[in-house]
Structure 1
Amino acid sequence: MTGFADGAIPLLLLIYGVGAAVGNVIGGRLSDRAPMAAQPGLLAALAAALVLIRTVGGNRALTAIMVFVVGALGFSVIPGMQARVLTTAAEAPTLAWR
Protein backbone atom coordinates (compact mmCIF):
# COMPACT_ATOMS: atom_id res chain seq x y z
CA MET A 1 0.00 0.00 0.00
CA THR A 2 2.76 2.49 0.84
CA GLY A 3 5.03 1.55 -2.02
CA PHE A 4 8.20 1.26 0.06
CA ALA A 5 10.83 -1.15 -1.19
CA ASP A 6 11.96 -3.96 1.09
CA GLY A 7 15.26 -2.17 1.54
CA ALA A 8 13.49 0.80 3.14
CA ILE A 9 12.33 -1.22 6.15
CA PRO A 10 15.54 -0.72 8.18
CA LEU A 11 15.34 3.03 7.59
CA LEU A 12 11.69 3.09 8.67
CA LEU A 13 12.58 1.12 11.81
CA LEU A 14 15.33 3.64 12.53
CA ILE A 15 12.84 6.49 12.11
CA TYR A 16 10.44 4.73 14.47
CA GLY A 17 13.24 4.17 17.02
CA VAL A 18 14.33 7.81 16.96
CA GLY A 19 10.70 8.80 17.46
CA ALA A 20 10.41 6.38 20.37
CA ALA A 21 13.50 7.85 22.07
CA VAL A 22 12.26 11.42 21.57
CA GLY A 23 8.76 10.48 22.75
CA ASN A 24 10.09 8.80 25.87
CA VAL A 25 11.94 11.95 26.92
CA ILE A 26 9.06 14.30 26.09
CA GLY A 27 6.48 12.01 27.70
CA GLY A 28 8.54 11.85 30.89
CA ARG A 29 8.78 15.62 31.07
CA LEU A 30 5.06 16.06 30.41
CA SER A 31 4.20 13.46 33.04
CA ASP A 32 6.42 15.23 35.57
CA ARG A 33 4.62 18.52 34.97
CA ALA A 34 1.00 17.35 34.82
CA PRO A 35 0.66 13.60 35.34
CA MET A 36 -3.13 13.38 35.28
CA ALA A 37 -3.54 15.64 32.24
CA ALA A 38 -0.67 14.25 30.18
CA GLN A 39 -1.81 10.63 29.92
CA PRO A 40 -5.27 11.14 28.42
CA GLY A 41 -3.93 13.80 26.06
CA LEU A 42 -1.06 11.64 24.86
CA LEU A 43 -3.32 8.62 24.40
CA ALA A 44 -5.82 10.70 22.42
CA ALA A 45 -2.99 12.05 20.25
CA LEU A 46 -1.73 8.49 19.68
CA ALA A 47 -5.20 7.36 18.61
CA ALA A 48 -5.46 10.29 16.20
CA ALA A 49 -1.99 9.54 14.80
CA LEU A 50 -2.92 5.91 14.20
CA VAL A 51 -5.99 6.99 12.27
CA LEU A 52 -3.97 9.57 10.35
CA ILE A 53 -1.22 7.15 9.36
CA ARG A 54 -3.87 5.02 7.71
CA THR A 55 -5.14 7.95 5.69
CA VAL A 56 -1.70 9.04 4.42
CA GLY A 57 -0.58 5.49 3.58
CA GLY A 58 -0.34 6.22 -0.13
CA ASN A 59 2.26 8.96 0.32
CA ARG A 60 5.73 7.67 1.26
CA ALA A 61 7.02 10.96 2.71
CA LEU A 62 3.97 11.48 4.91
CA THR A 63 4.03 7.84 5.95
CA ALA A 64 7.67 8.15 7.05
CA ILE A 65 6.79 11.26 9.08
CA MET A 66 3.85 9.46 10.65
CA VAL A 67 6.07 6.47 11.52
CA PHE A 68 8.17 8.91 13.57
CA VAL A 69 5.05 10.46 15.14
CA VAL A 70 3.53 7.08 16.04
CA GLY A 71 6.84 5.98 17.58
CA ALA A 72 7.08 9.20 19.57
CA LEU A 73 3.50 9.11 20.82
CA GLY A 74 3.55 5.38 21.47
CA PHE A 75 6.53 5.72 23.78
CA SER A 76 5.49 9.05 25.32
CA VAL A 77 2.76 7.36 27.35
CA ILE A 78 5.12 4.85 28.99
CA PRO A 79 6.88 7.10 31.56
CA GLY A 80 3.55 8.35 32.93
CA MET A 81 2.13 4.85 33.15
CA GLN A 82 5.23 3.58 34.95
CA ALA A 83 5.15 6.49 37.38
CA ARG A 84 1.48 5.81 38.04
CA VAL A 85 2.14 2.14 38.81
CA LEU A 86 4.98 2.97 41.18
CA THR A 87 2.96 5.68 42.92
CA THR A 88 -0.06 3.42 43.28
CA ALA A 89 2.08 0.57 44.61
CA ALA A 90 3.70 2.69 47.34
CA GLU A 91 2.66 0.17 49.99
CA ALA A 92 4.24 -2.72 48.08
CA PRO A 93 7.05 -1.34 45.91
CA THR A 94 8.58 -4.73 45.15
CA LEU A 95 5.36 -5.80 43.45
CA ALA A 96 5.61 -2.85 41.06
CA TRP A 97 9.13 -3.84 40.01
CA ARG A 98 8.37 -7.46 39.17
Structure 2
Amino acid sequence: MEVDLILLTHGHGDHTTDVVSISKRTGATVVAVFELATLLNWRGAKTHGVGLGGTYRFGGVKVKYTLAFHSSSFEDEENRNFHYAGMPA
Protein backbone atom coordinates (compact mmCIF):
# COMPACT_ATOMS: atom_id res chain seq x y z
CA MET A 1 0.00 0.00 0.00
CA GLU A 2 1.31 3.44 -0.92
CA VAL A 3 1.04 6.71 0.96
CA ASP A 4 -1.04 9.68 -0.26
CA LEU A 5 -0.30 12.25 2.45
CA ILE A 6 2.70 12.84 4.72
CA LEU A 7 2.18 15.07 7.77
CA LEU A 8 5.31 16.59 9.29
CA THR A 9 5.55 18.22 12.69
CA HIS A 10 9.01 19.78 12.41
CA GLY A 11 12.23 19.77 10.43
CA HIS A 12 14.57 17.42 12.28
CA GLY A 13 16.25 14.67 10.27
CA ASP A 14 14.51 11.85 12.12
CA HIS A 15 11.26 13.19 10.62
CA THR A 16 12.48 14.37 7.20
CA THR A 17 15.33 12.12 6.03
CA ASP A 18 13.35 10.04 3.51
CA VAL A 19 10.38 12.33 2.93
CA VAL A 20 11.53 13.81 -0.40
CA SER A 21 12.28 10.41 -1.93
CA ILE A 22 8.96 8.99 -0.66
CA SER A 23 7.04 11.96 -2.07
CA LYS A 24 8.78 11.62 -5.44
CA ARG A 25 8.22 7.86 -5.60
CA THR A 26 4.58 7.84 -4.50
CA GLY A 27 3.35 11.30 -5.51
CA ALA A 28 2.32 11.87 -1.88
CA THR A 29 1.80 15.45 -0.74
CA VAL A 30 3.94 16.53 2.21
CA VAL A 31 1.97 18.77 4.58
CA ALA A 32 4.10 20.97 6.84
CA VAL A 33 4.40 24.54 8.07
CA PHE A 34 5.18 26.94 5.23
CA GLU A 35 8.95 27.20 5.73
CA LEU A 36 9.48 23.45 6.01
CA ALA A 37 7.17 22.77 3.06
CA THR A 38 9.13 25.28 0.97
CA LEU A 39 12.50 23.74 1.87
CA LEU A 40 11.22 20.27 0.94
CA ASN A 41 9.64 21.56 -2.28
CA TRP A 42 13.00 23.05 -3.32
CA ARG A 43 14.42 19.54 -2.88
CA GLY A 44 11.74 18.01 -5.11
CA ALA A 45 8.87 16.97 -2.84
CA LYS A 46 5.24 17.73 -3.67
CA THR A 47 4.20 19.95 -0.75
CA HIS A 48 1.36 21.92 0.81
CA GLY A 49 2.42 24.63 3.26
CA VAL A 50 0.15 25.41 6.19
CA GLY A 51 -0.06 28.00 8.95
CA LEU A 52 -0.29 27.33 12.66
CA GLY A 53 -3.87 27.36 13.87
CA GLY A 54 -5.24 26.55 10.44
CA THR A 55 -7.53 23.64 9.65
CA TYR A 56 -7.12 21.96 6.27
CA ARG A 57 -8.97 19.21 4.41
CA PHE A 58 -7.23 16.71 2.19
CA GLY A 59 -9.88 14.43 0.75
CA GLY A 60 -11.50 12.79 3.76
CA VAL A 61 -8.74 13.86 6.15
CA LYS A 62 -9.06 16.98 8.33
CA VAL A 63 -5.82 18.35 9.75
CA LYS A 64 -5.36 21.14 12.30
CA TYR A 65 -1.87 22.45 12.91
CA THR A 66 -1.26 23.62 16.47
CA LEU A 67 1.84 25.03 18.14
CA ALA A 68 4.29 22.60 19.69
CA PHE A 69 7.21 23.41 21.98
CA HIS A 70 10.17 21.96 20.14
CA SER A 71 12.97 23.14 17.88
CA SER A 72 12.73 22.81 14.10
CA SER A 73 15.81 22.94 11.89
CA PHE A 74 17.89 21.13 9.28
CA GLU A 75 21.49 20.31 10.06
CA ASP A 76 24.12 21.33 7.53
CA GLU A 77 27.07 19.30 8.76
CA GLU A 78 29.35 20.37 5.90
CA ASN A 79 29.11 24.05 6.88
CA ARG A 80 28.43 23.38 10.58
CA ASN A 81 25.19 25.31 10.41
CA PHE A 82 21.47 24.90 11.02
CA HIS A 83 18.69 26.03 8.69
CA TYR A 84 15.46 27.28 10.20
CA ALA A 85 12.54 25.03 9.22
CA GLY A 86 9.55 26.96 10.60
CA MET A 87 7.62 26.66 13.83
CA PRO A 88 7.08 23.13 15.15
CA ALA A 89 3.51 21.88 15.11
TM superposition score category, shorter chain reference: under 0.3
Structure that is richer in strand per residue:
2
Higher relative contact order (CA 8 A, sep 6+): 1
- Larger-Rg structure: 1
TM-score (norm 1): 0.24
